[in-house]
Chain A
Amino acid sequence: IQLTQSPSSLSASVGDRVTISCRASQGISSYLAWYQQKPGKAPRLLIYAASTLQSGVPPRFSGSGSGTDFTLTISSLQPEDSATYYCQKLSSYPLTFGGGTKVDIK
């Protein structure tokens, strides 16, 4: 099962609503997580089970979808959200990651 993220990069202004797509080549139910990674740092879990917010993550982050189509939304982009975002399927091994979406602040 392949995961395709789009776009591969985007640039948006502070306060913008940002959406990132992750599409699976086969259905994976809701077994999808989203991670944020800043340069030189380890990834950080944001969302699991497609839509459950990890403890401590700001509520401007949300996830939706099931089956093959998933979305990560940042409702109001903040400067500290500049990072690369990855989806990961957890339905079965291999626990593949998407290719990543780099988010820059204009």
Chain B
Amino acid sequence: EVQLLESGGGLVQPGGSLRLSCAASGFTFNNYAMSWVRQAPGKGLEWVSSISDSGDTTPYADSVRGRFTISRDNSKNTLYLQMNSLTAEDTAMYFCAKCASTCQHQNFQHWGQGTLVTVSS
């Protein structure tokens, strides 16, 4: 059974940093691309970033490019999202998602339960 467990969320001040993790199990992690998707309170879904199975392709949404960095450690079956220069607009539930092989041209097949990030002074 595929399991995705996000962690690392919490309260952070504007301008601060946070690193999210997503521990994966139940599948061969290094064979699948992964993604982060966020959802601001009461709002819709927003794609944040994806990473290829090898980690060499990392597209970002315009809203986070230059501030967020997606990465993965295939030896630890873990996906990361390093978030810097955080603003109130980054307040959201952050979901990790397993793509069906690639993300582009495929789909987000499995999702974690999310970790909440709140940016506030």
Contact = CB atoms under 8 A, between A and B. Distances in A.
Contacts of B110: 45
Contact of B47 (A45, A54, A95, A100): A95
Nearest to B96: A42
B64 to A, nearest CB: 11
Contacts of A94: 47, 59, 61-62
A93 B45 contact: no
A11 interface: no
Given A48-B106, A90-B105, 4 more contacts: A43-B37, A45-B109, A95-B47, A97-B37
A100 B107 contact: no
Given A33-B108, A45-B108, A100 B50 contact: no
Given A48-B106, A91-B105, A97 B45 contact: yes
A86 interface: yes
Which interface residue of A43, A44, A92 has the most chain B CB atoms within 10 A? Answer: A43
Contacts of B79: none
Interface in B16-66: 35, 37, 44-47, 50, 59, 61-62
Interface stretch (B69-77, B82-90, B111-119): B111-119
Nearest to A30: B105
Interface of B: 35, 37, 44-47, 50, 59, 61-62, 95, 100, 103-114
A102 B107 CA distance: 21
Contact of A48 (B45, B95, B100, B114): B100
A78 interface: no
Contacts of B44: 86, 97-100
A43 B107 contact: no
B51 to A, nearest CB: 12
Given A43-B95, A48-B100, A86 B45 contact: yes
Contacts of A37: 45
